[in-house]
């Protein structure tokens, strides 16, 4: 590839752009300040760790924009961001059927907030409709041939490079992967590819070998917590909880409703107390609230929160250490539960949740789901076997019994 005549010698990430990722930042900074740029970069790492942010910052820096990147005296383009630049093209996987306007609206949302959850899996519908339906997305051959490949052969209009950003390339269909590999092997002179992958182990080795790989790691708890408090005005207790339950996925934590998180954590505790007391009225009351308020995806989030609480109980009862607790701000509640439930079969309670999450792919009745769970927990919290065994769950529903 030709030398970049306007290298961003003063490059650094803008203060509010990429959260954490000190090693990736150092790697990218060295890359952009080097004498030559490679024709293809592959940013790999778990979902929600800032790969799209970094890809967009790199694209801006190469074409002289200070926005997500801070180029200082190296700034030479007057464009406000990557979206307005004719030589920067971003692509995301799409469902089989999607309107042009829908796709462009999602891409434009990333210009406002590069951590925005715009993929069709996390946001099936921009209007909030059909939220429970996960729209599987990929790169079909028609999308590649009609929209992606032609952009790679455009000469730069205003910038130094024509930049093609492809996110989640592990979703490429086999025929697209083969076609794209040929483009990587013989790229046009002025094109730069910036690729991202959440699952690099599924990629062809020949794809990886033709790219310079920049790995991303899960965002640290401290980085997430600090950012949520200082820049997103999250309540400190919510920020600490979300940072610990995030698994390093910073993007997801930002879009939790703080009030809903607090309310559901309180209801989970009420639900567990009602289960132990065999308070059928309270169990049904909470189950009905959740069935009205939650779709399938939100129900899985709630079950994850319940699982985190039960794991905290298990950790506390085993170690009496708060170091690895997620619900550390609920330590008094956790201690009270552990004192009152010395025989609780917590591992089996956690297993019940994992089984329920598998059932969520079907059209389940959420109200009955939690009623059954409460009745089973009433036994397990006392160290007793459930009345109906796990291999005969259908007996919870009398109308199915012959």
* DSSP secondary structure of 130-147: TTT-----BB-HHHIIII
What is residue 120's predicted lDDT score, i.e. its pLDDT?
Answer: 84
Beta bridge partners of 41: 194, 212
From-to residues of CATH 3.40.50.300 in the chain = 12-217
As given in the structure block, the two tokens for residue 333 are 């509640």
Helix (H) or strand (E) holding 214: strand 212-215
Q: Name the band, by pLDDT with cuts 50, 70 and 90, for residue 74.
A: confident
Alpha helices in 113-235 (DSSP H): 141-143, 149-152, 174-185, 205-209, 221-230
> In whole angstroms, what separates CA 272 from the centre of its chain?
28
The token duo for 254 is 């930002």
pLDDT at 168 over 60: yes
Out of 253-257, 372-376, 378-382, pick the least confident: 253-257
Rounded alpha-carbon distances, angstroms, from residue 159 to 29, 42, 301: 19, 21, 43
pLDDT tops 60 at residue 386? yes
Segment 42-47 shows an average pLDDT of 96
Q: What is the pLDDT of residue 135?
A: 67
* 132 pLDDT above the threshold of 50: no
**Is the pLDDT confidence value at 114 over 50?**
yes
Confidence of residue 274 (pLDDT cuts 50, 70, 90): very high
- pLDDT band of residue 260 (cuts 50, 70, 90) is confident
pLDDT at 389: 64
| Residues 343, 289: Cα–Cα separation, whole Å | 30
Q: How confident is the model at residue 104 (pLDDT cuts 50, 70, 90)?
A: very high
Q: Which residue has the tokens 């269909």?
A: 173
Residue range 218-244: average pLDDT? 91
What per-residue confidence (pLDDT) applies to 301?
Answer: 85
Q: Class of 12-217 per CATH?
A: alpha beta
Mean pLDDT of the chain: 89
Split at pLDDT 50, 70, 90, the class of 36 is confident
């Amino acid at each position: 590839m030709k030398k970049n005549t306007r290298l961003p010698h003063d490059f650094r990430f803008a203060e509010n752009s990429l959260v954490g990722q000190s090693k990736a930042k150092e790697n990218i900074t060295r890359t952009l300040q080097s004498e030559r740029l490679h024709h293809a970069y592959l940013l790999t790492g778990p979902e929600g760790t800032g790969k799209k942010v970094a890809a967009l910052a790199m694209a801006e820096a190469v074409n002289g924009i200070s926005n997500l990147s801070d180029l200082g005296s190296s700034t030479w383009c007057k464009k406000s961001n990557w979206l307005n630049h004719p030589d920067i093209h971003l692509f995301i996987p799409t469902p089989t059927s999607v309107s042009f306007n829908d796709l462009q609206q999602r891409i434009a949302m990333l210009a406002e907030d590069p951590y925005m959850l715009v993929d069709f899996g996390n946001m099936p519908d921009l209007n909030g409709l059909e939220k429970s339906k996960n729209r599987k997305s990929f790169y079909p051959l028609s999308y590649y041939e009609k929209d992606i490949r032609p952009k790679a052969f455009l000469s730069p209009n205003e910038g130094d490079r024509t930049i093609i950003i492809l996110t989640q390339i592990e979703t490429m269909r086999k025929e697209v992967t083969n076609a794209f590999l040929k483009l990587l092997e013989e790229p046009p002179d002025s094109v730069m590819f910036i690729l991202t992958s959440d699952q690099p182990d599924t990629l062809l080795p020949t794809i990886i070998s033709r790219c310079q790989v920049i790995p991303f790691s899960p965002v640290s708890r401290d980085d997430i917590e600090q950012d949520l408090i200082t820049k997103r005005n999250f309540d400190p207790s919510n920020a600490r909880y979300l940072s610990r339950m995030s698994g390093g996925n910073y993007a997801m934590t930002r879009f939790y409703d703080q009030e809903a998180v607090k309310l559901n954590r309180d209801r989970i505790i009420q639900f567990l107390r009602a289960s132990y007391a065999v308070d059928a009225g309270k169990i049904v009351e909470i189950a009905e609230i959740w069935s009205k308020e939650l779709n399938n995806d939100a129900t899985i989030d709630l079950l994850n929160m319940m699982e985190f609480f039960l794991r905290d109980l298990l950790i506390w009862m085993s170690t009496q250490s708060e170091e690895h607790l997620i619900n550390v701000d609920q330590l008094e509640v956790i201690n009270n539960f552990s004192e009152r439930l010395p025989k609780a079969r917590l591992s089996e309670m956690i297993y019940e949740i994992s089984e329920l999450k598998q059932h969520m792919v079907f059209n389940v009745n959420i109200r009955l789901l939690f009623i059954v769970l409460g009745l089973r927990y009433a036994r397990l919290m006392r160290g007793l076997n459930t009345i109906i065994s796990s291999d005969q769950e259908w007996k919870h529903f009398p109308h199915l019994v012959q």
